[in-house]
Amino acid sequence: MNKFVLSKVRTFQTIIDSISALIKEAFFTFSKDKFSLNAIDPTKAAMVNLKLKKDSFDEYKSDKEQKIALDLIELNNLLKRCGANDTLTFMFLDDKNKIKLEFKGEGKRKRTFDLSTIDSEGILEKELDIGKLELPVKMKVKSEVLQTAIKDAKTIDSETLEINVSSDLLKIIAVKEMMNDEYNLEISLKQTSDEEKKEVDVIDMSDAKAKYSLSYLEKIFKIASISEVVTVSYGTEQPAVFDFSDDKIEVFYILAPQSDETEDEFESDFDENFEEEEDLDEDFEDI
């Protein structure tokens, strides 16, 4: 049997809530030392890699490596029924092609849900090593900073968020099309002696700017509460990586840039760059 037990479920709930906003169906893989998900959204505009290491669970058991396909929206709805103080047991029932979610509350209360696996045809997945992506800018940013920028940009009904690094300045810009309404956030990248108040820590520096879909960013940053800091890597007109990993959880998103073209043209362009799942590694080597 493959199963895991979590007494602190909030982080897992938050991760699935974010991923399910982007991707409806995905594979989960049980292996000897981790529980993982590697998925690409249907438009190929975004992808996510998730690894929960064995020691991040209260109990983890994997008799054999196994891949199961699930409806993430249905899974997310069930996980929302798990109370803050409940213990979650996630089991795969091999003989029934189902997973069982068991919520144990205080006292003797126990609730269970069975969720069927789904047909895996058409589900896209790919595991990437982001350490091999050659993106010119890499910086650690307080998650709250980008969350604020996303919310601010929504107030003017912008469809994109531009990330612009130049000299010693980080600019985040949003514009409402046709109306010329504009939002700007500027953060100095100059060294400061007060590290606790530092909102951005630059690791690799280069002038760069690119626009990204605001609706995708909003969905990605539903995960922001799991990490005070997000590592952002990107380049001019290149995909951006948003890495929320810590010592027990590896979770990062890759988001394609958006040009001034229409959304349909944007998706078409991304499709050309990532035409086949097996070609993804090759394409990212060109970044």
Residue 223 domain flag: yes
Q: Which amino acid is at 26?
A: A
Q: Are 101 and 139 found together in one domain?
A: no
- Structural domain count, the chain: 2
Q: Which of 86, 116, 146 is the last residue of a domain?
A: 116
Q: Is residue 90 part of a domain?
A: yes
State the amino acid at position 133 in one-letter form.
L
Which residues is 138 bridged to in the sheet?
204, 233
pLDDT value of position 124: 82
| Same domain as 193, residue 112 | no
Phi, psi of 249 (to 5 degrees): -125, 130
Q: What pLDDT does 279 receive?
A: 42
- Token pair in block for residue 138: 């890499």
If DSSP codes are grouped into helix, strand and coil, which group holds residue 130? helix
Residues 270 and 158 in one domain: yes
Does residue 186 share a domain with residue 65? no
> What are the E-state strand segments in 45-180?
46-53, 59-62, 66-71, 87-93, 98-104, 110-116, 137-142, 160-166, 169-176
What pLDDT does 227 receive? Answer: 96
pTM beyond cutoff 0.85: yes
CATH number at residue 216: 3.10.150.10
Residues 89, 151, single domain; the answer is: no
Same domain? For 162 and 259 the reply is yes
State how far the alpha carbon of 136 is from the alpha carbons of 23, 91, 205, 229, in Å: 28, 42, 7, 19
Cα of 166 vs its chain's centroid, Å: 26
* Domain boundary pick from 116, 145, 180: 116
- Tokens of residue 140, six digits: 């650690």
Residues 169 and 217 reside in one and the same domain: yes
Query: Is 139 in the same domain as 92?
Result: no
Q: Is residue 123 part of a domain?
A: no
pLDDT by residue for the chain (287 residues), tens digit each? Answer: 899 999 999 999 999 999 999 999 999 999 999 999 999 999 999 999 999 999 999 999 998 899 999 999 999 999 999 998 999 999 998 877 899 999 999 888 999 999 999 998 888 888 877 777 889 999 999 999 999 999 999 999 999 999 999 988 999 999 997 778 899 999 998 866 666 568 999 999 999 999 999 999 999 999 999 999 999 999 999 999 999 999 989 999 999 999 765 444 444 444 444 444 444 444 434 43
Residues 192 and 259 placed together within one structural domain of the fold? yes
Contact in structure between 83 and 90 (CB atoms under 8 Å): no
- Residue 57 shares a structural domain with residue 148: no
Residue 285 is predicted with a pLDDT of 40
Range of the domain at 167: 130-285
